[in-house]
Amino acid sequence: MEVSSSHMNIQFDDTNLRAAMVGEANGLTPEEIRQHSPRALEALKGFQEISEAGAQGFPHLPFQAQVAKDILRFAKEVRGSFDTLCLVGIGGSALGAWALDCGLRGPHPVQPAFSVRNPRLVVLDNVDPAFTAAALDSMNPKKTFTVVIAKSGSTAETVATFLIVRDWMSEKLGRKTRSRIAAVTTAGAGDLHALAEAEGYAEFAIPKNVGGRFSVLSPVGMLPAALIGLDIRGIWKGAAAVTHDSWQPDLKKNLALRAALLHYLVWKLKHKSIQVAFPYSNQLWGSAFWFRQLWAESLGKAKSRQGDEIHVGQTPVAALGATDQHSQVQLYVEGPNDKVFTFWAVERFADSGKIPKAGLNLEAFDYLGGQTLAKLIDAERRSTAAALTEAGRPNCTFTLRKLDPEHLGAFLQLMEFQTAFLGELLGINAFDQEGVELGKKFTYGLMGRKGFESYRDRFQAYEQRRKSAD
């Protein structure tokens, strides 16, 4: 069945998730879908209550008119004075901005030359010292604007990199440095906020009820987006349209709910513990990486809401079509049947990629002449779906009419709603990340942060166990 969002041109085709296409062992019967549909409506109601109570804020983000005004006013003030936007942040504080940049301007190697009119985005997320040094070498401190993003205000990677960048800027800019930095963090709390206040950086707030991986439509994604010149009103407009659709108690109109239910059923009833997010668009590659975090951190949980130990999670994998047909598809078609494939298609590309007729009298060349790359990539995706289906591998497809700010904003919000609904179907809290927190605390202990001595001791006990295990 193919269903469309009523406000946006996004479709979801779930035909190849059906038993009629991939067999009963791997696909869903109409009876299974019917039987579980009431649970989807309960999940919708459950999440609606959470959202209305203000416990989760991402559905409200596209409607914050004042935030949009503040961001746009600030962007207008500072744009034109930098050719590089340096984003210091990690995880949910970095992936959203990258997804937007890649989605709307393309992957970096093919973006137009950067300039003060078209600043590039350099994301310093990892603490790889060679990468950080090379990135700084490529930037001019006088032409760089830095946005440091951390909801907690204290993530070690972000703080360490920011200290390096701040120092690098101060060496050339001295007291002017403060006017070339903006901080995005939890309003009125944490050490990054304290530093921003002390040094006088512009500050933008992350609402308390919005977690990192759900924050792309807050200043976390939208401030960098506005600073590199993306149409943030368009992004919010698409996201707002999907938000309206996502509250519809109707599985034919509510794509996010339908996709959540079907992914849940194929995972739980047909044992597909891996989801391959498979965009057939280089521009959606950043979004696939953003989605990996959203799905993994939200749905990988040790405990149910009731506190029972359950250890659930579906492993997200990102693959790029058509490229990964020549790398991963052998495994996907013939290897273990433990995956569901979710294609992300674009109907109208910005360019059709006309293939010239060369008249070479060579069979492998001549049939392609006069056709387009758009037709070829579409044929590649549909052929891969057919091959997977013939091999009994369930798959489904989201199709975006085109890649513009509205469609991208809509799609990201759709993925967030889908994730929230799936969390409700699983009976877990999709919004915490205890598993991430422990690693962070061990790092603080190891790096000597005050108050984390017990984690240093716990880490040392682990090292001791490693020694005696040898």
Q: Exactly one of 309, 311, 326, 463 is catalytic; which is it?
A: 326
User: Torsion angle, CA of 360/362/365/366, rounded to 10 degrees?
Assistant: 70
Question: What single DSSP character describes residue 144?
Answer: E
Residue 394 found at the interface with ligand PA5 (CB under 6 A) = no
- Helix, strand, or coil (residue 10): strand
Nearer to ligand PA5, 22 or 195 (CB): 195
DSSP state of 207: P
Q: Could you tell me which stretch among 5-13, 51-59, 144-152, 454-462 binds ligand PA5 (CB under 6 A)?
A: 144-152
Instruction: State how far the Cα of 248 lies from the Cα of 257, in Å rounded to an integer.
Output: 9
The vertex-413 CA angle with 211 and 125, nearest 5°, equals 50
Q: Which residues, other chains included, contact 27 with Cβ-Cβ below 8 Å and sequence gap of 6+?
A: 16, 17, 18, 19, 20, 21, 266, 270, 392, 394
φ, ψ at 4 (rounded to 5°): -120, 150
Least distance in Å: CB of 206 to ligand PA5? 8
- Per-residue x/- mask for ligand PA5, residues 162 to 201, rule CB under 6 A? ----------------------------------------
Whichever of 121 and 340 has its CB closer to ligand PA5, that residue is: 121
The reply to whether 93 sits near ligand PA5 by the rule CB under 6 A is: yes
Under the binding rule (CB under 6 A), the answer on residue 377 touching ligand PA5 is no
- Least CB distance to ligand PA5 at residue 470 (A): 32
Among 57, 59, 62, 91, binds ligand PA5 (CB under 6 A): 91
Residue nearest ligand PA5, Cβ-based: 212
Residue type, 375: K
Exactly one of 177, 246, 281, 433 binds ligand PA5 (CB under 6 A); which one?
Answer: 433
Q: Which is nearer to ligand PA5, 181 or 261 (CB)?
A: 181
Tokens, residue 1: 């069945």
Q: Which of 2, 22, 1 is nearest to 347 (CA)?
A: 2
* Catalytic pick among 297, 406, 416, 424: 297
List the one residue out of 256, 324, 326, 338 whose CA is nearest residue 285.
Answer: 324
Look up residue 461 and give its two tokens.
Answer: 């006990």
Alpha-carbon distance of 45 to 104, in angstroms, equals: 34
208-227: which residues touch ligand PA5 (CB under 6 A)?
211-213
CA distance 109 to 130: 20
Output 144 or 155, the one with its CB closest to ligand PA5: 155
Tell me the closest approach of the beta carbon of residue 335 to ligand PA5, in angstroms.
Answer: 30
151 binds ligand PA5 (CB under 6 A): yes
- Annotated active-site residue 311? The verdict is no
Among 297, 324, 404, 406, binds ligand PA5 (CB under 6 A): 297
DSSP SS3 for 57: coil
Nearer to ligand PA5, 97 or 257 (CB): 97
Q: Pick between residue 92 and residue 279 the one whose CB is nearest to ligand PA5.
A: 92
Minimum distance between the CB of residue 156 and ligand PA5, rounded to whole angstroms? 9
* Calpha distance 394→385 (Å, rounded): 9
Closest to ligand PA5 by CB, 213 or 339: 213
| Closer residue to ligand PA5 (CB): 197 or 390 | 197
CA 291 and chain centroid, separation: 4
Place of tokens 């935030």: 67
Annotation marks residue 407 as catalytic? no
Minimum separation from the CB atom of position 203 to ligand PA5 (A): 15
Which of 44, 50, 124, 150 contacts ligand PA5 by CB under 6 A? 150
Asked whether the beta carbons of 74 and 67 are under 8 A apart, the reply is: no
Q: Is 408 within 8 Å of 100 (Cβ atoms)?
A: yes
Among 26, 56, 84, 155, the residue binding ligand PA5 under the rule CB under 6 A is 155
DSSP string, 250-302: -TTT-HHHHHHHHHHHHHHTT---EEEEEESSGGGHHHHHHHHHHHHHHH-EE
Task: Establish if 90 lies at the interface with ligand PA5 (CB under 6 A).
Answer: yes
Catalytic-residue membership of 263? no
CB 187 within 8 A of CB 208: yes
436 binds ligand PA5 (CB under 6 A): yes
Asked if 158 touches ligand PA5 (CB under 6 A), the answer is yes
Q: Which stretch binds ligand PA5 (CB under 6 A): 40-48, 86-94, 238-246, 351-359?
A: 86-94
Angle at 417 between CA 413 and CA 422, to 5 degrees: 145
Minimum Å distance from CB 214 to ligand PA5?
7
Positions marked active-site: 297, 326, 440
Footprint of ligand PA5 (CB under 6 A)? 90-93, 150-152, 155, 158, 211-213, 297, 433, 436
